[in-house]
Amino acid sequence: MAQTTEPASAGSAQQVFTRRSSGLIRTAGTYDVFIFNIGLISVGIAVALNQFIGPAFYPGANVALSSLIATAGMLVVAVAYYMWSITFPRSGGNYVYQSRAISPGVAFATTFTESIVLMFYAALAASLLVSVGLSSFFGVLGFITETESLADAAIWLGEPFGLFVIGSLVILFCGLLPLYGMRRYFTFQRGMFIVAIVGTVVTLAVMLLGSRETFVGNFEELTGLEYARVIDTAISNGWADVGYAAGPTIAFLVWPLLPLLGGIQSIGIGGEIKNVSKGQFMGMLGSIASAGLVFALFAVLANKTFGYEFQAAVVFNGDVAPDATTPVTPYFTLLAGILTNNVVLTVLIVAAFVAWIYFWIPAELIYAQRTMVAWSFDRLGPEKLGYVSPRFHTPVVAILVTVILSVGFMWVIAYTTYGTLVLIYGILICWGATMLGGVFFPWLRKDMFERSPVSRWKVGGIPLMSVFCLASLAFFGWVFYLLWNDPIAAGHDPIDIWPIVAMTVAGAIWYGVTRWYRQRQGLRVELAFREIPIE
């Protein structure tokens, strides 16, 4: 663990931080960190988005290969963040790294945006739990049992009002779960992980043993649609079957990258991990590598069983020929349920996807909460925002703030068309700033760097931290370029871009006003950034 320079006296300590101890305790073992990260990656969200969007809107994209390319890039990023995490083994993530390596103003502005984006994605996960999980589940049951009420429930869950109501309830439950302590949260997390793994193994087995002929027969019997007609309708309306191609494969990698970004987010709870070095290494690199391989495997099996052209067509027809697609949105879970034509197997499959999607909701909020607490400790946020329950050791006020804001974002998702991947720009800017700081950190903050375990790792006299941070910065730049030139994923419509700019500017203004106010109070907030945060 990196050493810290203690303040010279109790008086000076009071000037630096709001208190001597954060109140957060180290409760997460290596297994907990692995689950935290692979849960934030979420196999369920990745497979749902990859198979829904890839074949339909990126014709020629090899989804499996795109997933592996994104995985390779994120492994480089994970090594860079691993080095940051053992240099500053504290909770707070990018804010801690940037505020000590670059400047507190930059750190606050970028992580202000990052926190808002993560709360939005928590709401997005809740919406996917409703649409990919519950709506598909009731839809399949409606097909199998020929029960109209179940089919109607599936359609209602896909409508804005149903999505907002049920999604908000999901956020309230998942978001408030950590209130009673991280030990309880990690225990619940382990249980959900078992559900996710068992259901995933069942799903892979169903896909491996299932045949195209079985799927076609079940699809035509349960939906009344002809498999071949679905494909022909899409082609006649403009979908082009061009075979696998490098261009769309590269362009599509931004979609599997979205969930893979979760693989490093245990940096947010760095101060709550028992063995930081082992836990962060296995949690980051292990989760990203294993999840990426599973993404690719699902893509291969989906093409074998459902057919690449059919997956594309049944989604594509939703916009151009609704009579040639399913009445319930044809996410992977719906197609897998049709393949089984079995209530019990469908329950197991949907349970796995619901469990995977669940992980995103509390964990995204937990990361944002730790950032807010770190702001408060450094006196850049209201002191109450950093309040940690002495009984449960959880940031009560920050939890309530993030849950309320996430419910607000649930309304945005349900009733607007704000882009899913547009907000990744905010993440890339924030994380890119951390990587830029990492390139020069060994020289700009030489005293801190030399006390870190990573100072020993060099190649040709150049710190490996600088090497991996530079490679990660280049990767983020490439992804930014892909998103900027991709109107399907993000693009650069001013309506989408300006909110990100506004968030960052708002963060900068907040920092400036708070710094001025603290100086008026006679508080020397600049002292905090000369040392690593309190534990």
For 497, half-sphere exposure in the C-beta direction (CA atoms, 13 angstrom radius) is 9
CA distance between the termini of the chain: 11
Residue 422 sits at the vertex; the CA angle it makes with 242 and 289, to the nearest 5 degrees, is 70
- Going residue by residue through the chain, which has 535 residues, state the pLDDT in tens, using 9 for 90 and above: 333 333 333 334 444 334 344 556 677 789 999 999 999 998 988 999 999 999 999 999 999 999 999 999 999 999 999 999 999 888 888 999 998 888 889 999 999 999 999 999 999 999 989 988 898 888 888 888 888 888 889 889 989 999 999 999 999 999 999 888 888 888 999 999 999 999 999 999 999 999 999 999 999 999 999 999 999 999 999 998 888 999 999 999 999 999 999 999 999 888 888 888 899 999 999 999 999 999 999 999 999 999 999 999 999 999 899 999 998 889 999 999 999 999 899 999 989 988 999 998 999 999 999 999 889 888 888 888 888 888 878 889 999 999 999 999 999 999 987 766 889 999 999 999 999 999 999 998 888 899 889 999 999 999 999 999 999 999 999 999 999 999 999 998 888 889 999 999 999 999 999 989 888 888 766 666 666 665 5
Please state the separation of Cα 410 from the chain's center in Å. 16
Whole-number Å distance between alpha carbons of 171 and 165 = 10
DSSP 379: T
Whose CA is closest to 225, among 215, 240, 239, 237? 215
Q: Would you state the structure tokens that stand for residue 103, as one six-digit string?
A: 């400047």
Which residues touch 187 (CB under 8 Å, ≥6 apart)?
A: none
Whole-number Å distance between alpha carbons of 169 and 464 = 45
Q: Which fold has domain 10-530?
A: Amino acid/polyamine transporter I (1.20.1740)
DSSP 532: P
Q: Would you state the structure tokens that stand for residue 352, as one six-digit string?
A: 């796995």
Residue 273 pairs in a beta bridge with 28
Whole-number Å distance between alpha carbons of 316 and 235 = 9
pLDDT of residue 231: 96
Whole-number Å distance between alpha carbons of 193 and 170 = 18
- Tell me, letter by letter, the H, E, C secondary structure of 438-495: HHHHHHHCHHHHHCCHHHHCEECCEEHHHHHHHHHHHHHHHHHHHHHCCCCCCCCCHH
**Residues 390, 465 contacting (CB under 8 angstroms):** no
**Residues 457, 463 contacting (CB under 8 angstroms):** yes
**Residues 63, 411 contacting (CB under 8 angstroms):** no
Whole-number Å distance between alpha carbons of 251 and 54 = 10
Which residues touch 316 (CB under 8 Å, ≥6 apart)?
A: 56, 57, 234, 237, 239
Which residues touch 65 (CB under 8 Å, ≥6 apart)?
A: 249, 296
Q: Would you state the structure tokens that stand for residue 319, as one six-digit string?
A: 């916009």
In our burial notation (b when 16+ CB lie closer than 10 A, e otherwise), range 15-34 reads bbbbeeebbbbbbbebebbb
Whose CA is closest to 42, among 125, 136, 155? 125
The domain spans of the chain are 10-530
pLDDT of residue 18: 43
Whole-number Å distance between alpha carbons of 155 and 213 = 28
Amino acid letter for position 464:
L
Whose CA is closest to 394, among 211, 183, 98? 183
> 8, exposed or middle or buried, with CB in 10 Å at 0-12, 13-18, 19+?
exposed
Rg (C-alpha) for the chain, rounded Å, is 24
**Residues 100, 445 contacting (CB under 8 angstroms):** yes
Whose CA is closest to 519, among 380, 386, 385? 380
Residue carrying the six token digits 């035509």:
220
